[in-house]
Structures are given as structure tokens and as C-alpha cells.
Chains A and B, each alone.
Chain A
Amino acid sequence: MAYFQEAFIMAIKNLLSFDPELYGIVFLSLKISTIAVILSALVGIPVGAVIALKEFKGKNVLINMINTLMGIPPVVVGLVVYILLSNQFGIFGDLRLLFTQTAMVMAQTMLATPIIMGLTIVALHGLDPLLRKTAISLGASRYQLVWILIREARYSIGSSIIVAFGRLLAEVGAVMMVGGNIRYQTRVMTTAIALQKGMGEFQEALALGIILLILSLFITTGIDMIRRGKVWL
């Protein structure tokens, strides 16, 4: 127990030391995951809403596929993005994006999009069917209907963003594979923890883990406040 206690104290000391490298890593983690979750929400919420509200052939198969992708291992996503971006086999190899922050955002967006999409579908399916009928009968256009139903499901959709953000912040496999854990460039909290552990610096790794948890707590609390508060329409 004393070991964990010391790690906690070390985490606080590290935070209070205002070490530029540590804060650079924290900032990069936040930056990559924030951009990825925003991109995922921009794609996942409207597409999820259309899938939920439209009746079409193969809808259940598509939803099952999205649900499967919600649980895809990050290393598999990392591998796919790696292959797509690699000079050797990738169709986007010429863009030279491998081991860049853009590649990390791409991998994390691929991870988070099915989560937000799948949970948006669940959220909209959970709404009272009369809400939809009422909006249609009052004259809502297709776009207005989608918008009001997303608004009605805002709590659940907000939760999907929190879940996705939490997963991205804690994810290591994909960012390690496509980012490469390059110091000052693509090193984020999780890859830094893996590195410390690899070097046998367990307590340092644990301290970073605690910082990651504290960070995650602040972020998810912030998102939850937005979700429940007046910021959201």
C-alpha cells in the first residue's frame, strides 16, 4: 500500500513541478483525444441518427456491425491505420503521415466513431415513439426531426461522448503503433506509462497513471456539467 501512496505523492509532486515535458505530454494527450472525439461526434451523431430513424434493408446487420466495431481492440485499429499510411503497402503512404499526430488522430477517430454512433442509435431507439410522431405531425422537416430527436436524447448522447473520450484518453495500442511514442512529438500519457514500465520505472509509470486518472476525472466532470447544464440546448 505504501508503494501506491508513494506513487500518488510522486504524481502530485510531478504535477506541481510544472515540468514542461510532462505538461507537453498531458497537453498532447488532451489535444489528440479532443480532436478525435469531436471528429467522431460530428460523424457518429448524425449518421447514427439517420440509421436509427430510417427504415431500410439490412439495418439490423449494419447495427450489429457497428456494435461489433464498438469493441474493436485498439491495436487492430492501429494496425489498419499503420497499413493504410505505410510507404510499403498503404494507399495513403505518399502523404507521409505515419508517426505523426495526424495519424494518431485518425486512429483514435476510427476507434471512437463506432462508439458514439452505436450509442446514439441506442439513445434514439430509447426515446418515446410519440416524440417522433408529434414532431412529424407538427410539421417538422426531415432535418428538423433529426435535430429535435437528438436534442431529446442529449443526455444519452452526451454520455456516449464521455465514454468515447474516456476510452481514447486511456488507449495505448493504436497511438503507440501509428504515433511511435516519439519524445516531444507523439508521446502521450499512455505511451509514456508504457515506456516507463519498459524501463523498469514502475513507480514513475504508476504516478503517470494517477495523473491520467486525475485528468480524466476533470475532463469527464467538465463534459458532464456541459451535458446537464445550460451550455447544451
Chain B
Amino acid sequence: MENIFKINNLSKAFKGKKVLCIDELNIPRGLITAIIGPSGAGKSTLLSILNGLVPPDEGKIFFEDQNIIGSMRHGDHNRRSMAMVFQHAVMFHGTVFDNIAYGLKIRKTPEDQIKKRVDEILALIGLNEIALQRAETISGGEAQRIALARAMVFQPKVLLLDEPTANLDPANVSQIEKLIVHAKREYGTTVVLVTHNMFQAKRLADYTVFMMNGSIIECGNHERIFENPNDTKTRLFISGEMIY
């Protein structure tokens, strides 16, 4: 199994409190990796560090064998190889079409290509009919689907998803999960998904990482983690018995 991210001795503290301390973690290429764990486990911080939005205090992250810590710049090649979707989707000023096209426009994609790819992805998320609607006027569920489509449309190598289905209704959750699987199957995208939803992790993940108090407790292919966890904490968390 080839790894797209290799993380070594990564640590991060906020106001003196250590929130992340990872000795070693590898993220496999082309698969869906779910990062699960209780609140405050450091899952979102890890995702933000992978995307270069938050600098770590120490450690190395190799992205395709290149250490990206301290070397990522706005709009550079590595940054443009990834896209992150946040728990709360924010829409830019303009139409739904403009929002989805944003990543392609800033990459100077030809207009005809932009139209073709945005129309394709709008069909995929079932929102063609609101393509020309102002993005500020759409519902939360639609906004989250558009946010994911906006990140997927330029087919990044890595999609970093920070609880993309939190607070959404089942219909929207289902649509988003379909999109995630589509990104993996059709574009070969590596997906790193932070989720609280154990069922979702079970449904989607090929590889699972369990985090607690900023550290990796256990990781492995999802059948092993869910069916036969090595660590008691993992077992308690998965079975819903853990009180935190």
C-alpha cells in the first residue's frame, strides 16, 4: 500500500496546551481514510496542518515524499493538489455556478472546460436547476453539497473533509457520501475524512485512524479496527461505551 502522506513526530500546542502529538502516521493513497475519535482528540487540527492552514510546532509531513512543513505557499503546486471542506460551508458572492467554478478559474482553466466540468458535477449533485441562483440564498444542505463539489471539480489528489455531514439531514448525508465515493472511484482521489459518525466511517472508510487526546491510539484497515480493535479505548469508543 503506497502512502501519500507520511507524518513523523508531529506536535502542536495552543496556549501551552498540547493538542496534537503524533509519533508516526501514514495515509494511504487513493483510499478513504476516516479519522475518528472523541471531541478534542485533535482530528480537525491534524486536518488543518495537512492542508497547511495551521503550522505545527514540530515534526515533518511528507506529501508525495516531499516535506511540506514550512514550504507550502498560497496557490503553490502542493496546495493546489489538495482541497479542504469544512464543517460549515461558506459561499462566495455570486451564483452556485460561480462558486463551483472558483477553483477552476483560479487555475486558469479554459472557459469551455469550466462550463463542461461544472455542469457535470452539478448533474452529479442534482443541483443543475439552481446553477444560476445566488449562492447566499441556498439551504445548508445544498451549501454543503456545493462546497464538496467546489472542492472536487478540479480533481485534487487529496480531499480533506472536516465533518462534512454534521448537522445535515439523511438525504443530504447520502448525497455527500455518494460524492465522496465518486471522488475516490472516478478521480482516484485520496480522501481524509474526519467524522463523529461511526456508521459513516464504517460505510465509507477503507482505512481508519482512532485518535484521542491528540495521539493516535490505533490505525488500520477498517474491518480490523471496527471488528477486532487491539486497544480497549478503541473498542469502548466504537461500541459507544466510552464516556468523554
**Which positions 53-101 of chain B face chain A at CB distance < 8 Å?**
53, 73-75, 79-80, 82-84, 86, 88, 90, 92-93
Q: How far is the CA of A135 from the CA of B79 in the complex (A)?
A: 11
Are B74 and A142 interface neighbours, CB within 8 A?
A: yes
Report B-chain residues with C-beta under 8 Å of the C-beta of A145. Answer: 74-75
Contact present for A130 and B106 (CB under 8 Å)? no
B195 in the interface, Cβ–Cβ < 8 Å?
no
With an 8 A cutoff between CB atoms, is B33 at the interface? Answer: no
Task: Establish whether residues B75 and A142, one from each chain, have CB atoms under 8 Å apart when the complex forms.
Answer: yes
A130-B86, A130-B88, A133-B86 known; A139-B93 Cβ under 8 A: no
Distance between B67 CB and nearest chain A CB, rounded to angstroms: 20
B86 touches A134 (CB 8 A): yes
A144 on the B face (CB < 8 A): yes
- State whether the Cβ of A154 lies closer than 8 Å to any Cβ in chain B: yes
Q: State how many angstroms separate the Cβ of B80 from the closest Cβ of chain A.
A: 4
In the assembled complex, B151 has its CB within 8 A of some CB on chain A: yes
Total interface residues on B, CB under 8 Å, equals 25
- A141 CB–B CB distance under 8 Å: yes
Structural contact, B75 and A152, CB atoms closer than 8 A: no
Query: Size class of A's contact patch?
Result: 10 to 19
Q: How far is the CA of A139 from the CA of B154 in the complex (A)?
A: 10
Given A133-B53, A148-B92, A151-B93: A138 and B106 within 8 A (CB)? Answer: yes
- Does A210 have its Cβ within 8 Å of any Cβ on chain B? no
Interface centre among A136, A145, A151 (most CB of B within 10 A): A136
Q: For the complex, is A47 an interface residue (Cβ under 8 Å from B)?
A: no
The answer to the question of B51 belonging to the interface, with a C-beta cut-off of 8 Å to chain A, is yes
How far is B53's CA from A135's CA once the two chains are assembled, in angstroms?
Answer: 11
* Nearest CB of B to A105, in Å: 32
- Some 21 contacts from A to B, beta carbons below 8 A apart, are A133-B53, A133-B84, A134-B90, A134-B92, A136-B52, A136-B79, A137-B82, A137-B160, A138-B102, A138-B106, A139-B79, A140-B74, A141-B74, A141-B75, A142-B75, A144-B75, A144-B106, A145-B74, A148-B92, A151-B92, A154-B93
A contacts, CB < 8 Å to B: 128, 130-131, 133-142, 144-145, 148, 151-152, 154
Closest 9 pairs between A and B when the two form their complex, measured CB to CB: A141-B75, A137-B84, A139-B80, A130-B90, A138-B103, A142-B74, A144-B106, A131-B90, A141-B74
